[in-house]
Structure 1
């Protein structure tokens, strides 16, 4: 039996405000193509199908269309809910969906109820797939009937139930576990929502001992914690911290001997990421930035004075610029408490100082006129400051 491990689709998520539904649909189409080309029997999706508990109608359409195409390509699907999903919404109609080859595991009650696949005549070994949804510790510990608190406690109890069920099954049954968690030793990035409770969100990898393969979700970078304990990562980058990651999925076979070689299949990059730094005019003209005109761009401007309308101008060359910082070269940053910053200064001086702090330059004549008019309208202007400040 051949399986494909993926996770963290986050359908409906944007990239610094840029819509990604087209890219997400393409990524799911690629997974369907992999299923067809590699003759995959089961696709495992370890949580965070959607980016929100209440996804938009468009996000639901993209996700369900992707699942349908994967099913049409020949694979059944096993999905668990992640910390971004609403377990109740995702798991609705689970019994009916299973009849069509979509197996949903979103409840504590279903942790020890695996989907059992016939290994076929070639192997003769059944394969039990256990889905552990994201377990919010305080809620889950009550449902699990344990007193201990924290992620480690609830996942330890969940895995105890998995092992107990596995022992009762036919000899030679192979075991796969899907879980959505932060395992110690793995590397996080900026696009993951913290699941910290009381300051502790990580669980030891030993929690998952005793099964043939652990398909992890939650962290967006593909990584191997142990030969058979892996994060597939997200199919798309959701932050610039993922720029160096090679997005991928894991493909493996299961037979009577267990899990065979786990192979990595890299995914296409629908739109690359690029970061750049320099003065605005330089970024708009420098030939070395030409390869990035169709990339998602994060730019850091180093102009001494903050350029006016910088993002609009940047997008004239880089239409997919989505993030902009300003760090003037050689500027000294002094952090003052509010009381210190305004002590002994008139309202006019404070307003002028705020404008200068924002862009590292005093107001020009037009801005000075507008500033005075605004302060006069508010009854805050001090005419005695005009000659000194202009």
Structure 2
């Protein structure tokens, strides 16, 4: 059978105040075109369909239309909720999803059968998929236990709970004539973050060892980390990565979807299909003079400007590079200046110390210096 594995669409994501709806529409359209060309038997969307738990009506339309279009290619479609998604809200869409022929699982349920999806390909191959949405640590580890456990103990308790879930859900992975699959939205120990994930949501407290997955799974389709990668483990385990760079921490990623071909008797063959519809994210560095000499780079820009901080610097950069969404003084320049300006504090007046600070930030801001002097006099300086 052939599988198209994708995840982490983050529909509705805004980059530094810039809407990317048009890019997200183009990315989803290209993803559907890949499905039409590849003709997979099964499409797996492994979580984070949305960027927020309260998506706009426009974002909801984009996601539901994309899932419908994927189903219209003839593939079975299974999607699970991620940590950015509102699980109960996704579950509320189940009547629509069932009518559209999409298996949508937003939240972890007490009934194991809720997380088992069975199917048969046009060629007659039978398959079973364990579909596990994101499970927060605070729900997996009871609050009373978390107060009594150390951080390491709580982490292990979470991993043990996920392991028990998978053992229970994969008990039926025994039939030799059926392809056994798993999809989940979580962090596996040893995998590399893509750069755009929120650190608070990918800490080790949410990480599990690869050994939670069964050895007889033919393929494990993961979401949550935005970098496409294979993870060593007892079965073929892979993150598809996001089909577009979410923020500037991901500019070195290669957005793609994963195509998997597998049978009950052959190992999974995996290849990536690039998704190129979104504008690339790039970082450029230089003085204003150097930036003025640049040919306008393609895509959205983060600019590290090598100039002394001053009022209006951002506007000057954006006049040269209109697609600059983030403008910062180059951290390397600030670090060097800080080392150069380092001076002992002992024996120096508040006016002198504030003067040094202001010189490093706004050298020409005499009005701020005067205001500080006035305030200092008022408090008895």
Query: Do they superpose with TM above 0.5?
Result: yes
Residue 136 of structure 2 contacts residue 206 of structure 2 at CA under 8 Å; is this kept in 1? no
Counterpart residue number, 1:318: 321
Counterpart residue number, 2:120: 118
Q: TM-score w.r.t. structure 2 length?
A: 0.84
Deviation track 1:258-307 (CA, whole Å, cap 9, x = no partner) reads 554222111115212222222122212x2xx3151x3211121222x224
Counterpart residue number, 1:388: none
> Once superposed, which parts of structure 1, at least 4 consecutive aligned residues long, lie more than 6 Å away?
340-343, 381-384
Residue 295 of structure 1 contacts residue 318 of structure 1 at CA under 8 Å; is this kept in 2? no
Compared CA separation, residues 10 and 375, structure 1 to 2 (3 A): same
Residue 311 of structure 1 contacts residue 321 of structure 1 at CA under 8 Å; is this kept in 2? no
Q: Is 2:370 the partner of 1:372?
A: yes
SS at match of 1:127: strand
Deviation track 1:61-100 (CA, whole Å, cap 9, x = no partner) reads 2222222222233333211111111111112132441231
SS at match of 1:28: helix
Residue 195 of structure 1 contacts residue 201 of structure 1 at CA under 8 Å; is this kept in 2? no
Deviation of the 1:7 alpha carbon? 0.5
Residue 35 of structure 1 contacts residue 74 of structure 1 at CA under 8 Å; is this kept in 2? no
Residue 137 of structure 1 contacts residue 154 of structure 1 at CA under 8 Å; is this kept in 2? no
Query: Hey, what's the Cα distance between the residues in 1 that align with 2:260 and 2:284?
Result: 39
Over aligned residues, Cα RMSD in angstroms?
3.2
SS at match of 2:171: helix
Query: For the pair shown, which has the larger CA radius of gyration, 1 or 2?
Result: 1
Compared CA separation, residues 317 and 68, structure 1 to 2 (3 A): farther
Alignment gaps of 5+ in structure 1: 385-390
Deviation track 1:316-343 (CA, whole Å, cap 9, x = no partner) reads 232211122214374134899xxx9698
Correspondent of 1:230 among 213, 229, 238: 238
Compared CA separation, residues 342 and 358, structure 1 to 2 (3 A): farther
Correspondent of 2:163 among 150, 156, 159: 156
SS at match of 1:11: coil
Correspondent of 2:191 among 183, 186, 192: 186
Counterpart residue number, 1:85: 85
Compared CA separation, residues 251 and 111, structure 1 to 2 (3 A): farther
Structure 2 counterparts to residues 1-390 of structure 1, below 5 A:
1-109=1-109, 111-112=112-113, 113-120=115-122, 122=123, 124-141=124-141, 149-150=154-155, 151-167=158-174, 170-194=175-199, 200-209=205-214, 210-226=216-232, 228-257=236-265, 260-284=268-292, 286=293, 289-292=294-297, 294-303=298-307, 305-327=308-330, 328=333, 330-333=336-339, 345=349, 352-359=355-362, 361=363, 363=364, 367-369=365-367, 371-372=369-370, 376=374, 380=377
Residue 159 of structure 1 contacts residue 208 of structure 1 at CA under 8 Å; is this kept in 2? yes
Query: Hey, what's the Cα distance between the residues in 2 that align with 1:131 and 1:262?
Result: 20
Aligned length: 363
Deviation of the 1:370 alpha carbon? 6.3
Higher alpha-carbon deviation: 229-238 or 10-19: 10-19
